[in-house]
Amino acid sequence: MSKQKKSQGLQERPELTGLERLGLRVSAMIGSPVAQIQRWVTIHRLDTDGDQEWEAVLELLDETDGIDMTFNDDGTVTLKWDRPSDEDRVIEGGELEEVDEPPPF
């Protein structure tokens, strides 16, 4: 009975498109701890990635402010970005309040 429920649950999940899979993979590469520390990553195309999907992701990255793209001879693309400055950071919930109290340590 549990096997039947598991197979039904798998059938209900929509399959990801090629663009979604590629986007998730590139996003994971960019968001990896090592890439975040060094502020660069080299992304690559897999044999399963379609031409349209690859071009769409590269176009989206090219339109993103603060990302420099370098196209390498082997077909990979190196993305570099700067550490966000204080002016680039978005603070949700309004303005910051000044605190006159000294830190508790």
Tell me the pLDDT band of 13, cut-offs 50, 70 and 90: confident
Decide if pLDDT at 16 tops 80. Answer: yes
pLDDT given for residue 14 in this prediction: 82
Residue 47 lies in a domain: yes
Measured in residues, the chain has a length of 105
Does the structure show a pLDDT above 70 at 15?
yes
Q: CA-CA distance, 35 to 97, in Å (whole number)?
A: 33
Alpha carbons 67 and 36: distance in angstroms, whole number:
13
Is 89's pLDDT higher than 70? no
pLDDT mean over 54-83: 94
Report if residue 105 sits inside a domain: no
- Please tell me whether residue 68 adopts helix, strand or coil conformation: strand
In a domain, 93, yes or no: no
Q: Tokens in use for 73?
A: 């001879």
Alpha-carbon gap, residue 61 to 77, rounded angstroms:
11
- Residue pLDDT, tens place only, 34-43: 999 999 999 9
The answer to whether residue 56 is domain-embedded is: yes
- 77 pLDDT higher than 60: yes
Q: What is the pLDDT of residue 83?
A: 79
Domain annotation covers residue 2: no
Report yes or no on 67 lying in a domain. Answer: yes
Q: 77 lies in which domain range?
A: 15-81
Tokens of 26: 């590139």
Count of structural domains, the chain: 1
